[in-house]
Amino acid sequence: MCNLSISNLYGSSFAERIGPDQALEIYENMPFYELLEIANRRRLELNPGGIATYLVDRNINYTNICTINCHFCSFYRPPGHPEVYTQDVDEISQRIKELEEIGGTRILMQGGVNPDLGIDYYLDLLSELRRRHPTVALDCFSPIEIEGISDVTGLTTIEVLIQLKEAGMTGLPGGGAEMLVDDVRSNVSRLKGSSDRWLKVMGEAQSLDLTTSATNVIGFGESLAQRIQHLDKIRALQDEAHNNGRAGFTSFIAWPVQLENNAFGRRNRGRNKSTMGAGSVDYLRHLAISRLYLDNVKHIQASWPTMGLDIAQMGLSAGADDIGSTMMEENVVSASGTSRTSVTEKELRNLIKEAGFIPMKRDSDYNFLRNGPTTDGV
């Protein structure tokens, strides 16, 4: 049994930081609903007022060409494949126009590591999008893509980031983290490189005051201790950012790996289901542990694209204070088995209300925006 309880963990108002061993004990032994209650109390302490936020944005996957060959990815295509594509500025701009028409404020643009794209493609794209859409935040290109641009151009990753920011990029998505435990990373995505490389690029982005978020994919067969190792690396980089007067990660988002339509899922068919993937209870436990462990990351987002709207709604009472975004489209996670790729602002607001919270529209930096009637009348 777990020796920790609500009273002795919450009684000090979380004044004492939870260490890895303590987190592992809680993860392994604390009863499910007791853990969720503690995480919810911590969430309300960090984000008072009973508010749950959401974002109206759009995911744009500008290219599917990639050379990294992640075993769990069903989206990418290798160079020369008949299904490859790379979008031009007019195609991407049209998607942003559609976002602006519904009051959206951010695009999250990611693709693959495309060796055919030089730095000029990215700089010209960003500068033209900034000219055409001056009020939309451009959170673009994961750390792995930044490394890819660096390899193609011969520039360092910090030099790439500086040029992209000058061209109009406002932030960096948290994609490519998956598990920041090298034994796990090398098993599922050998070419993606070490966890230190992901953390290095994120640290450089934060030094430039670019908006960043942290992510985590669970269910690769990793141990609970390895999941906590991932959280510990996120927390350590956040400490570094704060110590240097930087905002660091705005938020943390976790979700289970999708196994339906990719090499990783095929490779592990027949293995013990308790060690592969993650169900609703496992996901909510991890969400709660994340809220307790990441004491320096203010916002935690529930993942409706992978878990469904009902479980994401439960996540608002399990440590999450944000229900995510409308997305409008999504091609990476959906290629691996998720069936729904967008929701309306009305749906998100209703989910938040039904969970007992006050819905509040935000931007990518978690600033509150207009909170009156939406285009859906809610």
- Chain centroid to Cα 197, Å, comes to 17
Alpha-carbon gap, residue 125 to 145, rounded angstroms: 15
Q: What is the pLDDT of residue 59?
A: 92
Q: What is the pLDDT of residue 79?
A: 65
pLDDT above 80 (res 130): yes
Provide the pLDDT confidence category of residue 259 given band limits of 50, 70 and 90.
low
Q: What is the pLDDT of residue 75?
A: 62
Computed over every residue of the chain, the mean pLDDT equals 87
Which among 151, 174, 126 has a CA at the least distance from the CA of 68?
151
Map tokens 């919270």 to a residue: 357
Share of the chain above pLDDT 90, in %: 67
Helices (H) and strands (E) in the chain, counts: 16, 10
- Positive or negative, the Cα torsion across 118, 153, 176, 365? negative
pLDDT number for residue 113: 77
pLDDT tens profile 45-94: 999 999 999 999 999 998 887 776 655 576 666 767 777 788 999 999 99
More confident of the two residues 260 and 232 = 232
Quick check: 314 pLDDT over 60? Answer: yes
Confidence band (pLDDT; 50, 70, 90) for 276? low
186 or 105, greater pLDDT: 105
CATH number of 6-362: 3.20.20.70
What are 321-335's pLDDT values in tens digits? 999 999 886 555 544
Among residues 160, 145, 73, the alpha carbon closest in space to that of 111 is found at 145
What mean pLDDT do residues 106-127 have? 90
Domain ranges of the chain: 6-362
